[in-house]
Amino acid sequence: MKRQSTRIDRLPTNFFAELETKIAAIQAQSGDVIRLDIGSPDLPPPPEVINVLCSSARQPNHHGYQPHNGTAKLRQAWAEMYRDRFGVLLDENKNILPLIGSKEGIFNLTMAWANPGDTVLVPDPGYMTYARGALFAGAKPYYFALHPQNAFLPDLTSIPKEVLKRAKMLWLNYPNNPTTATAPLDFLKQAVQFCLDYQLILCHDASYSQVCFEDYQAPSILQIEGAIECAVEFNSLSKSHNMAGWRTGVIVGNTEIIKPLIKLKTNLDSGHFRPILDGAAQALSTPESWLKARNEIYNQRRNVVLKALKALNLSAWSSPATIYVWCSVPAGWTSLKFVEDVLEKARVSLTPGTLFGQFGEGYFRIALTSPTEKLSEAMDRLSKWKEK
């Protein structure tokens, strides 16, 4: 056999793929493992969405190839959501491109824009795909730190000028995975001006913008004056409507930034399944009351976990958004050693902060994607193990 591509060499092994194997071995020996690692919602989509999916699948002419830019109905639904929720007006034919999940778009936008030798500005800790898209393209990720003393917001002015000269893209993500931090409008205004000043493509991942509670509503980067000149925003139905397995997301914003991604996708994929496109359009018309009720479930789960962590003298970041809790590991532990011991001895699976970058050391992430009783049981297991 000849050697695999050097592009593949640049990519690390997927953490969750390896974790699956480890958990399966533990389950075979000692029973149940409570998984609080991957952010895959356990709740179903709205019933109307499933009904539309099934009805569409029964149409004999809905099983062929679909346009790369989705259906007009889906693009219009995204435009209406952005208008109603954020007050942002988008042209459905110029500013909106449906995706096969936001992860695909995040990875491929970097492929469409970054050349070998370019620099891509990436948050640390941050969602791994920002950096991995850069690595696959042969570009160099430059990691800027998110520290708790700055509310997990970056100090963009600390990025060296020589780095900015080579930089092409800046990635931001609020509400944030993994830290759960939120960003005020003042920071987003600074970020837009920063990218205009340095001629950077501003890529904002807003996948958690509809998972909010305590009356908090996350903003869109496109609300900011001047953002449409330099920015695109990724959104997704994975977390907002419990549709992670459906793989349906969107990129919205600057037309010229989106165009190369469209060209790449016409060479890379063959569009999405029509019933999923129809179900996604229906999801975007879901009443706000459904979102509020579902978000209250996450709020209750979060409160159960925060209360338990406080009783264990573990310090967690309290946030009104996302489906996670970001928590410090006990003194004397590394992130990886802590989650490995918790998995082996308490049979609770957590995510080490170092999965998201070097500045994730000292933290672990809990996904609120299990029923409240399972979360309570997991916290009990953690308490009993910690007391030993």
Greatest Cα pair distance, the chain, in angstroms, is 62
* pLDDT score for 31: 76
First vs last C-alpha separation in the chain:
51
| pLDDT tens by residue, 30-83 | 778 999 998 999 999 999 999 999 999 999 999 999 999 999 999 999 999 999
Whole-model pTM: value is 0.95
Query: For residue 129, which of 355, 310, 353, 304 has the smallest C-alpha distance?
Result: 355
Domains of the chain and any CATH numbers: 6-44+289-387 (3.90.1150.10), 48-283 (3.40.640.10)
Residue 93: CB atoms within 10 A of its CB come to 12
Q: CB burial class (10 A; 0-12, 13-18, 19+) of residue 16? A: middle
Cβ-in-10-Å burial (0-12, 13-18, 19+) of 291 comes to middle
Average pLDDT over residues 176-195: 98
| Site of tokens 């919205």 | 252
* pLDDT tens digit sequence for 308-341: 999 999 999 999 999 999 999 999 999 999 999 9
Asked whether residue 179 carries a pLDDT value surpassing 70, the answer given is yes
Distance of CA 74 to the CA centre of its chain: 21
Write the DSSP assignment of 30-63 as a string of letters. H---EE-SS----SPPPHHHHHHHHHHHTSTTSS
Q: What does the block give as tokens for 49?
A: 């969405």
Task: Place 388 in a pLDDT band, splitting at 50, 70 and 90.
Answer: low
Q: Calculate mean pLDDT across residues 244-260.
A: 97
- The mean pLDDT value of the chain amounts to 95
Taking each continuous run of H as one helix and of E as one strand, the counts in the chain are: 13, 13
pLDDT band at 233 (very low <50, low <70, confident <90, very high): very high
pLDDT number for residue 29: 79
What pLDDT, in 10s, does the model give residues 81-99?
Answer: 999 999 999 999 999 999 9
Question: Residue 360 corresponds to which amino acid?
Answer: G
Contact 244, 16 (CB under 8 A): no
